[in-house]
Structure 1
């Protein structure tokens, strides 16, 4: 799976980069939508055969220095470069598999927060949430084998889809974070099971997943719509929760209002739910 993902990732990024963007002439006989392999090899100062084998996912020796030059040649973002290194195993830390347990104080912190807040594990399964998050996402109202998974609900739960006025942007952002987790935890077979299930169930997931988008945990502003909350503009803050081995095993999401109407909506809903 990692080798297949490497092939798709490199080819997608190469196709997205125009010759003009890297100072190369387009010419009159170009059939490739983006850069040619030989152009990437030249820009990265690596052999064409070696780069071809890399893009084909062959089992070859790859140094950190060469991979850095490939990343620069393809104009990869910081998250893209991290993802590429993780796919090649150069930034990977092998860990023994264990079950992550949230610190007992986590639920107390979520309950004290006067806006939606929740925690997802590495594969985006829901671990904890407060009342406002439960109301916003209608948690517990959807069934199936992946009922607690944030990504599965995004594509398969009609009520969840309606939260996003711009579904593609919202989906790409979540898939970008999910993809980073996937590369960092190749030993976790839950990723492959979920991806296989979504591939079989959702052509839309397949289309967006094949874009190989990556995204950091940094905060963004997200538009939402909910029949009870109304139109919302939300600062989505994401923070890793580390376990006793100092490994990122979960992510806490804290929503904060980005405008006055959203603040009013949150306050009204918190009062209705009894301060949750």
Structure 2
């Protein structure tokens, strides 16, 4: 029954997808409105014979990564994709990150924390932050297609670069975590999109990226400099945020002072922010 339904499902979805919707030319000799098998195979980066066997319902081995490419080639909806995986008896654990919703309680946790704290998704887009982090990083103060990306800003935003007295080591640590995230989520195209954009914009990024450095989420101590905060020594604690399938979808960064001067700086800025908030209309 599953094989029969798989055949019918794949053929129906292939027939329903026009060449124009798939970014392909229609050509003058096309007799059917949908895609040909060889076109689906090319889009999914699989062999034509292999895809034909799959569509015929033959008993062949299929990986989750390959099935995900077929789902994208056929422009399947999330429910169609889940159904395809179910028909193949596979469980997909790499749901695209852009479908992930940060739990609302996370915003409350960030606001309660009396030091800079923020959340990045797996490609380092900033999802949430508290007022101390906003004061430190000026989130939203930079434009462009990757304006919300922490890694892009580290290399391309001059104000952000000035935060890192030891830029090379700080950048390598970010790149190392980014590389680990990419390895854990190979089906998310946003990783390569950012890498390609940074490679075109920054020779420094290319040089550091080609070192193939990796870094865990474990806490590190890093120096910072900010015009208002002054010289800082910060413990950077990173905590993974997982979805209901226990897959890492984001990372929460909590900064803690590593010396007395940094603690005093955090306290001073926190007092200013609290005083400003108290004077704002309710």
Bin of the TM-score, shorter chain as denominator length: 0.5 to 0.7
- For 1:122 and 1:189, the matched residues in 2 are separated by 12
Matched, 1:203 2:206: no
Query: Gaps spanning 5+ residues in structure 2: where?
Result: 1-91, 278-282
Deviation at 1:145, TM superposition (A): 0.4
Segments of 5+ residues of structure 1 without an aligned counterpart are: 1-92
Q: Give a deviation string over 1:2-52, Cα, whole Å, max 9, x none.
A: xxxxxxxxxxxxxxxxxxxxxxxxxxxxxxxxxxxxxxxxxxxxxxxxxxx
1:124 Cα deviation after fit: 0.3
Aligned residue-pair number: 184
- After superposition, the CA RMSD in angstroms is 1.3
1:102 to 2:102 alignment: yes
Which residue in the other structure is 1:151 paired with?
151
**Residue 249 of structure 1: aligned partner:** 249
Q: 1:135-214 maps to which residues of 2 (within 5 A)?
A: 135-214=135-214
- Distance, in Å, in 2 between the alignment partners of 1:157 and 1:95 is 31
Task: Please tell me whether the aligned partners of residues 239 and 252 of structure 2 are also in contact (alpha carbons under 8 angstroms).
Answer: yes
1:130-178 per-position Cα deviation (integer Å, ceiling 9, x unaligned): 0000010011111110000000000000001000001000000010000
* Structure 1 residue 245: Cα displacement: 1.2
TM-score, normalised to structure 2, is 0.64
Shift of 1:96: 3.4
**2: CA distance between counterparts of 1:95 and 1:132?**
33
**1:133 matches 2:133:** yes
After TM superposition, where is structure 1 displaced by more than 3 Å over at least 4 residues in a row? none
1:106-125 to structure 2, matched below 5 A, reads 106-125=106-125
> Structure 1 length normalisation: TM-score?
0.65
C-alpha deviation, 1:94, in angstroms: 4.5
Radius of gyration: which is bigger? 2
User: Could you tell me how far apart the structure 1 residues matched to 2:246 and 2:155 are?
Assistant: 32
Using CA pairs under 8 Å that are at least 6 residues apart, name the structure with larger relative contact order, 1 or 2.
1
